[in-house]
Amino acid sequence: MNNNFSIEDNILIAGASGLIGSAVLRHFKLNRYKNLFHPTKNELNYLNKDQFFEYCVKNKIKHLIFAAGKVGGILDNKNNQTSYLFDNTELALNALKVSIEADLKIVVLFGSSCMYPIKSPQPYKEKDLLTGKIEKTSMGYAISKILLTQGANVINETGRHYPFFISVIPNSTYGPNDNFDDKTSHVLGALINKIYTAKVNNDPEISLFGTGKSLREFVYSDDVADAIFFLITNLKEKPKTAINIGTSEEISIKNLALEIAKIVGYNGKINFNINKLDGAPRKILDITQMKTLGWSPKVYLKDGLVNTIDWYVNNIR
140-149, 190-199, 205-214, 236-245: lowest mean pLDDT where?
205-214
> What are the tens digits of pLDDT across the range 301-312?
999 999 999 999
Q: Which CATH architecture has domain 11-178+218-249+284-300?
A: 3-Layer(aba) Sandwich (3.40)
- The answer to whether residues 112 and 314 touch, using CB atoms and an 8 Å cutoff, is no
> What are the tens digits of pLDDT across the range 24-67?
999 999 999 999 999 999 999 999 999 999 999 999 999 999 99
Question: Peptide bond before 123: cis, by omega within 30 degrees of 0?
Answer: yes
In terms of DSSP bridges, do strands 172-174 and 36-37 run parallel, antiparallel, or are they unpaired?
A: unpaired
Question: Is 312 a known active-site residue?
Answer: no
Domain boundaries, the chain: 11-178+218-249+284-300
pLDDT of residue 12: 98
What Cα–Cα distance (Å) separates residue 179 from each residue in 20, 176, 235, 246?
Answer: 11, 9, 32, 20
pLDDT of residue 184: 83
Identify the three-state secondary structure at position 288: helix
What's the pLDDT band for 2 if we cut at 50, 70, 90?
A: low
Residue 73, pLDDT above cutoff 70:
no
What Cα–Cα distance (Å) separates residue 14 from each residue in 138, 285, 311, 314?
Answer: 23, 25, 22, 25
> What are the tens digits of pLDDT across the range 253-299?
999 999 999 999 999 999 998 776 677 788 999 999 999 999 999 99
Write down the catalytic residue from 141, 162, 196, 266: 141
Residue 1, pLDDT above cutoff 60:
no
Amino acid code (one letter) for 19: L
The dihedral region occupied by 234, where left means phi > 0, alpha psi between -120 and 50, and beta the remainder, is alpha
The arithmetic mean of pLDDT across residues 157-170, rounded, is 92
